[in-house]
Structure 1
């Protein structure tokens, strides 16, 4: 199974345990055990690959210092990987150990702490504390705890920790679980997890800034699970040649979350020498610091600082006025530490470094701003200046010292546990005077359950806009410091970028007399520029009036018939003529060489290049099409790169999750499937005739139901009473019908004919169902045989259909979507003013007259008639 399937199984197990353990606590057990398995497998790999031990020799791994060979082996193991685990405590040993119990794990964790190398203590010391102290929650007694523990061990035993995908697989599973636990942990989630999409925005910005660097140091002072640090590290690494060139500094206040940081960093394959962590209060005591050399105990500056600190947290600013971190900017108020975190991070930034931090929107406008300039941006005399309040003063200082590079507004409800809108602020120590880039990305998202979520295209658009510092109406603008001064340092995004929906226009003349205002037609100017002859094909201008009307019956047909539109579609087709071939070449022909990040960047750049000269087509929509299919493609490629092309010939059991009588979810067999090749794809390519046959039989079975219902509907009252079961919602009584359809049954001839027809249909349906079942099994057998015997040419063609065609088909449909959008817009304009006020008045008058004529014909109470007559006049 691939990493996604394995992660899903582990999450299903978590759901089964939730009646015993809170989802947020469960992560401490499952992730702790995954980490212990990783360490065990790391040691096994060390002895087999580096020390050239045979697998059956591993049983000799015991703590025996009288045996000099073993004593040396332990010391060398500690020196190279930082720890030593005895054979009896190795994870894989437990899989066959009938004596294993919860006490075994407790002993193993204690021994790990005792036998780790002192040189690696900063990475490993106390890392299993949360797991060890929480074992009692797995059950009411040791027996129950052992049973639960064995279930978890059995569950995670299949996690692969060997081969080229070691850390990617583990990292994926780890992040999958962290994000799922965060989604179910309510307000606690923000303590340990930054949504991956937000981390990706920050990572793209940092990676672009440092793309020329040969090595990097990055720091997160509120690291949580470490997911943000790792995402940043992965992004910058794609620009750096060689391994182990990124050093990670992480600080976290809460011990169990701090342990998650260390586990996550280690499991991503980061060497211990590049992991520097601390469990402490970031704001109380400055860190990181130089620990040796002439600068010992002085603040350490890094290349990049990234963080998602707790929002508006209380802190103690007492006696911190002269703290070097805050002295030049001011102290954040004690009830809102947002700027305290920001200034701490800015303090640890190198002169050419970059800082990205997630903050609540309040930091943009809270606190009175100091008055230093007049409304025109001119510097005031000293006697006319005013000091600001806490956050306003800090904000002004950041602007005047030119530290704020960009402000990126994010959608609301994007973080687990809080619905407040947030932003990413980008800061630098040394900038040019190019102003502050403000991006309002709050409208770009999709709904994902209860959360809003940035799409891949949203992330890329933000990153591109930041890199190019583009002014995009309604989305982004570079704002000068003078303008910010005139606004008294208020940085609230709507002051600078208006992303609100345009108000719906209504023209008074058109409302009264009809016609479409030419100004509203001009609002579609991008289309008329792209299709110069189209406007005159659709609209007829009114003489001497700035109004027009739609002169064609079918707008869409008129658009499609236009020469400019035809040329637009032809140009698009030409631009992407060899796109499918290119994708096939990169992804299918060179599947073993595909590197996910590099390939995604290359293909994205290719799509953007093709679209660049084409009007109206949204390049980010095209990019989203690619990313919508990318993970599925990469899941297959990962398997092929791990197992070889032979994985395409594998047919394996398929499982589904069902609940037993106790409500516990478990996997049960559910047929077979291709590991890479879907049965339905193979059937459509090679067995379409058989599929058509099955479809015809299925349709006949459904048609028989309709014919039976038609006869049933034709039953008279007596037949309904005799042959319909009232206790079963009027269902046909099969036994009675079959009995009375027999020749000797005493039934009216007309009734017998109906019954015989029903029985004949049932017989036909029964035979059809048997035939359907038989042919289905035959087709499954053929499909399985075909998959297992596919040659390389056939595999290549099928991978093209599975991976490439969905992408190219969706992209090729983009011009039609553009045209459909225009047709809808024109139709809406036509319908908007199709009924005028005069039409309504005329119809109302006609209706009144009709009603009056009807009332005049009424007879009855004279006062009632008089009242109705007066009502009509009103």
Structure 2
């Protein structure tokens, strides 16, 4: 019976944090920017409440350490008090709010009292500037006083409950920003699906008191993926030791992510700030789980030199291929694959869930093609799941989740599962940015069960294929011409331009009229020799060219060397999966429609694509002609009545 109370407490607290603070920001701050002020104050108050009980002791202890370097003081405080951060300022929000003088100066002094390992949070939040802005509008004192009265202590709100409060406040903030929030806030329904499938095969190895798991997000944003994954693992085993790692480039998102992890008991250094493409801040480390929602269509021109230098190193994360500088999605996909822990003797290997748009599935550029080929050949792709459109805040386009696995279960080795979840959604009561649809628990469970069922899943939404099914040969297909030899004055006029052609050759050509064109390489020299004339090879070729007339009743044409002669304007490319026998494919797919077709496997170009939409396409049966005729007759009757009415009125 306690759960409803907890839910009520968190939702009420979130409402008070948002709505009451809203009163002090109206007409001073743009409504869409409310969160930029409310979130930092929420973090500040939570950290203050977390440190309140031991602050006096910690302050005295740090003072006694004298001039030790900050990082050594951090270690000492951690060892003695078990705190990963602290504050040594004599001030707190209540003290600052007790007087209305020098509020801004006092607040800045208070912030400066925090340990250096979380100082970057306030920089990322741009806290000093925002406090100054409120002070100049005469609202800072009211904000400080309001937050000083909120009880965000761990005794009232456990880490998970506080996480729910912060999540609620973040959602309200991002709901104001709408589409702009899409750059750093991934919808929780999408994350939950990714996590559910990511840990689906971890039930047995996760059991026990010594289970350890590491989770990494190279585009951590507000930290939601890391926290949702951690929560899911702890539901499976409350004693599991989970370590979180993240990297984020954008300062505001980094501040949110680090703060969110911190107020829920996480490490101060769990998320690091930096450009993942330029520098992997966890170089040399691999992880049990990797989650990422990299930016779609991110231009990486500014990072080009560093990325290309890395790509030159054999076996490096970018050595498998480079996409166009206009879209770096596949760089992140390759990076995530490289961060997976290798397979262990117990069968456990790293797994990743990476979001992308449709482009990485089929982009035919050299770089993306090479990266996909590497993923296919290494059997790293476990599954790809299509999400509904309008699922993300910043874009309404269709999106996909790539599930990568460094050590697949035996039944899944050498196979790739495609799951079509595009129809699994419910409309949102209130859209947020471009997000108008959500995947509820029932929708997610259906996809999870399809993943677990594997080859026994409903084929309407799940297909199991092999890597070779996605590798192909683009084979040139030609239609062989059919010619008859025809004498004409036009042919003679053309041949007269040649030095090796004489007037005496005309009668030879006339005698060969309507004979087999394919036999000309033999019949023309023989007839010329009989007439005492020469027939060099060049002249033979010229005669064949000038006397060739299309004749569908003639046999397929071959040139002097026996090679098929291709009909003008008839050349197509047939895409044949590498898993299919070429001859059988052509007999089934090409020859029934073009019996004269021929192909040249030597000139085939190899590539790969994952044609997700085509695989699940179900053609709609066209309307019957009788039904169309009936509608036309009905419309014609209605028009006749209208014309009749107009005529009668005249």
Q: Which has the higher contact order (CA 8 A, sep 6+)?
A: 2
1:355 aligns with 352
1:489 aligns with 608
Which of these residues, 178, 183, 190, is aligned with residue 191 of structure 1?
Answer: 183
Contact 1:32-1:131 at 8 Å conserved across structures:
no
The alpha carbon displacement at 1:220 in A equals 0.4
2:10 aligns with 3
Which of these residues, 237, 241, 261, is aligned with residue 240 of structure 1?
Answer: 237
1:755 aligns with none
Contact 1:436-1:481 at 8 Å conserved across structures:
yes
2:143 aligns with 149
**What SS does structure 2 have at the residue aligned with 1:185?**
helix
Distance 1:314 1:437, change over 3 A: same
2:424 aligns with 444
The alpha carbon displacement at 1:128 in A equals 1.6
Measure the CA separation in 2 of the matches of 1:397 and 1:6.
50
1:139 aligns with 134
Distance 1:434 1:334, change over 3 A: same
Which of these residues, 110, 113, 117, is aligned with residue 112 of structure 2?
Answer: 110
The alpha carbon displacement at 1:271 in A equals 4.7
**What SS does structure 1 have at the residue aligned with 2:312?**
coil
The structure whose residues are more often helix, as a share, is 1
Unaligned runs of 5+ in 2: 1-7, 67-72, 343-348, 472-575, 578-606
Which of these residues, 435, 439, 445, is aligned with residue 460 of structure 1?
Answer: 445
Which of these residues, 396, 399, 405, is aligned with residue 422 of structure 1?
Answer: 399
The alpha carbon displacement at 1:413 in A equals 1.9
**What SS does structure 1 have at the residue aligned with 2:219?**
coil
**What SS does structure 2 have at the residue aligned with 1:325?**
coil
Unaligned runs of 5+ in 1: 48-57, 290-298, 369-388, 513-835, 856-863
Q: Deviations over 1:11-41 (max 9, x none)?
A: 3346552543345643343222222222222
Contact 1:203-1:231 at 8 Å conserved across structures:
yes
Measure the CA separation in 2 of the matches of 1:74 and 1:271.
13
Q: Deviations over 1:255-312 (max 9, x none)?
A: 232122111111122355xx533211101123313xxxxxxxxx11110110111112
1:231 is the counterpart of 2:253: no
Contact 2:385-2:418 at 8 Å conserved across structures:
yes
Measure the CA separation in 2 of the matches of 1:165 and 1:309.
32
The alpha carbon displacement at 1:424 in A equals 0.7
Measure the CA separation in 1 of the matches of 2:464 and 2:98.
64
* Higher deviation after alignment, 22-31 or 207-216: 22-31
Contact 2:419-2:461 at 8 Å conserved across structures:
yes
Contact 1:349-1:355 at 8 Å conserved across structures:
yes
1:285 aligns with 279
**What SS does structure 1 have at the residue aligned with 2:364?**
coil
Trace 1:249-268 onto structure 2 (pairs within 5 A).
249-268=245-264
Trace 1:290-305 onto structure 2 (pairs within 5 A).
299-305=284-290
Contact 1:182-1:416 at 8 Å conserved across structures:
no
Measure the CA separation in 2 of the matches of 1:362 and 1:302.
26
Measure the CA separation in 2 of the matches of 1:73 and 1:428.
38
Measure the CA separation in 2 of the matches of 1:138 and 1:216.
43
The alpha carbon displacement at 1:185 in A equals 2.1
2:34 aligns with 26
Measure the CA separation in 1 of the matches of 2:221 and 2:614.
34
Distance 1:42 1:265, change over 3 A: same
1:216 is the counterpart of 2:216: no
Measure the CA separation in 2 of the matches of 1:67 and 1:336.
51
Contact 1:210-1:236 at 8 Å conserved across structures:
no
2:464 aligns with 478
2:541 aligns with none
Distance 1:472 1:132, change over 3 A: same
For the aligned residue pairs, the C-alpha RMSD in angstroms reads: 3.8
Q: Deviations over 1:216-275 (max 9, x none)?
A: 0111011011011111111122223426x0111110112232122111111122355xx5
1:276 aligns with 270
Measure the CA separation in 2 of the matches of 1:41 and 1:63.
19
1:340 is the counterpart of 2:331: yes
2:583 aligns with none
1:795 aligns with none
Distance 1:341 1:65, change over 3 A: closer
Contact 1:303-1:350 at 8 Å conserved across structures:
yes
Which of these residues, 135, 158, 175, is aligned with residue 166 of structure 1?
Answer: 158
Q: Deviations over 1:545-582 (max 9, x none)?
A: xxxxxxxxxxxxxxxxxxxxxxxxxxxxxxxxxxxxxx
Measure the CA separation in 2 of the matches of 1:76 and 1:328.
44
Distance 1:250 1:350, change over 3 A: same
Contact 1:314-1:334 at 8 Å conserved across structures:
yes
* Aligned residue pairs, count: 473
The alpha carbon displacement at 1:839 in A equals 11
**What SS does structure 2 have at the residue aligned with 1:139?**
helix
Distance 1:137 1:199, change over 3 A: farther
Which of these residues, 365, 370, 376, is aligned with residue 393 of structure 1?
Answer: 370
Task: Tell me the TM-score normalised to structure 1 length.
Answer: 0.49
Distance 1:163 1:307, change over 3 A: same
The alpha carbon displacement at 1:174 in A equals 1.1
Contact 1:127-1:263 at 8 Å conserved across structures:
yes
The alpha carbon displacement at 1:107 in A equals 0.7
Task: Tell me the TM-score normalised to structure 2 length.
Answer: 0.65
Measure the CA separation in 2 of the matches of 1:402 and 1:67.
55
Distance 1:503 1:148, change over 3 A: farther
Distance 1:87 1:392, change over 3 A: closer
1:721 aligns with none
